[in-house]
């Protein structure tokens, strides 16, 4: 049973790392700021979410697992808000220039 | 298993370091801010992996703190940026 859990967490963490790599490649390669912002927030939220899902079975107590999920929810909320703010700042700068 | 976690944490930090190239070449400040935001989230992920691998007690709280502070940096950037209506 624990081997299955290990395989599951390895797969989830591997997918999380893959999404981080995708987010970074998108950040470096995409031509336009808005598309970079879109790809970046999608990829790193998903990357962190998958890493947290991969770590859940390894968490000692259910409380530690809950702490991981709460941390991921905090990053989700803050990252979404920041993405809206950066998008707004981007639009204002475009309006000015 | 634990060394697999540490390898994943290293891989995430490596990719985020590559992402920081955007800070150097970013044509606009907004791109630089995005790279710093990615660094924050990547740092949180790497810290969580290290916490799971090394079973040290306080590392998850460090990740919690980093997650909080990384969003403040972007908010400070946006608030400090020149706003058409205020100036």
C-alpha distance from B75 to closest chain A C-alpha (Å): 7
Nearest to A36 among B31, B52, B78 (CB): B31
Full residue range of the structural domain in which residue B45 is found: 2-80
Q: Assess if residue B87 is contained within a domain.
A: no
- pTM over 0.80, yes/no: yes
Classify residue B86: in a domain, yes or no.
no
Q: What is the tally of structural domains in chain A?
A: 1
Domain of residue A17 covers: 2-96
Residues B64/B48, Cβ–Cβ less than 8 Å: no
Is residue B85 in some structural domain?
A: no
Q: Which two structure tokens, joined as six digits, stand for B58?
A: 């306080």
Q: Which residue of A has its CA nearest to B33?
A: A86
Q: Please list every residue in chain A whose beta carbon sits closer than 8 Å to the beta carbon of residue B23.
A: none
State the average pLDDT for chain A: 86
In a domain, B68, yes or no: yes
What is the total count of domains within chain B? 1
Q: Encode chain B (87 residues) as per-residue pLDDT tens digits.
A: 888 889 999 999 999 888 888 778 877 788 888 888 888 899 999 999 999 888 888 888 899 899 888 888 888 888 887 665 554
Give contacts of A 53-92 with B, CB under 8 A: 55, 58-59, 64, 67-68, 71, 74-75, 78-79, 81-82, 85-86, 88-90, 92
- CA A70 from chain centre, in angstroms, equals 14
Q: What is the pLDDT of residues A52-91, one digit of tens each?
A: 999 988 888 888 889 889 998 998 898 888 888 888 888 8
**How close A32 gets to chain B, by Cα (Å)?**
9
Q: How far is CA B78 from CA A17, A82, B37, B47, in A?
A: 29, 9, 12, 26
Which of B16, B55, B52 minimizes the C-alpha distance to A13? Answer: B52
pLDDT at B83: 63
Q: Is the ipTM of this complex over 0.90?
A: no
**CA A48/CA A92 separation, integer angstroms:** 30
């Amino acid at each position: 049973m624990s081997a299955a859990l290990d395989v599951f967490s390895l797969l989830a963490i591997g997918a999380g790392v893959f999404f981080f790599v995708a987010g970074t490649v998108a950040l470096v390669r995409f031509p336009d700021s808005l598309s970079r912002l879109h790809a970046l927030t999608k990829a790193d939220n998903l990357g962190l979410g998958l890493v947290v899902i991969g770590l859940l079975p390894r968490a000692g107590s259910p409380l530690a697992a809950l702490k991981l999920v709460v941390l991921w929810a905090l990053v989700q909320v803050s990252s979404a808000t920041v993405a809206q703010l950066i998008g707004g700042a981007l639009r204002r700068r475009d309006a000015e220039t | 298993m634990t060394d697999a976690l540490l390898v994943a944490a290293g891989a995430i930090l490596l990719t985020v370091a590559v992402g920081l190239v955007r800070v150097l070449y970013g044509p606009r400040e907004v791109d630089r801010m995005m790279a710093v935001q990615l660094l924050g989230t990547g740092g949180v992920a790497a810290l969580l992996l290290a916490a799971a691998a090394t079973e040290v007690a306080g590392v998850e709280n460090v990740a919690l703190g980093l997650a909080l502070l990384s969003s403040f940096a972007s908010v400070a950037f946006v608030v400090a940026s020149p706003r058409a209506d205020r100036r």
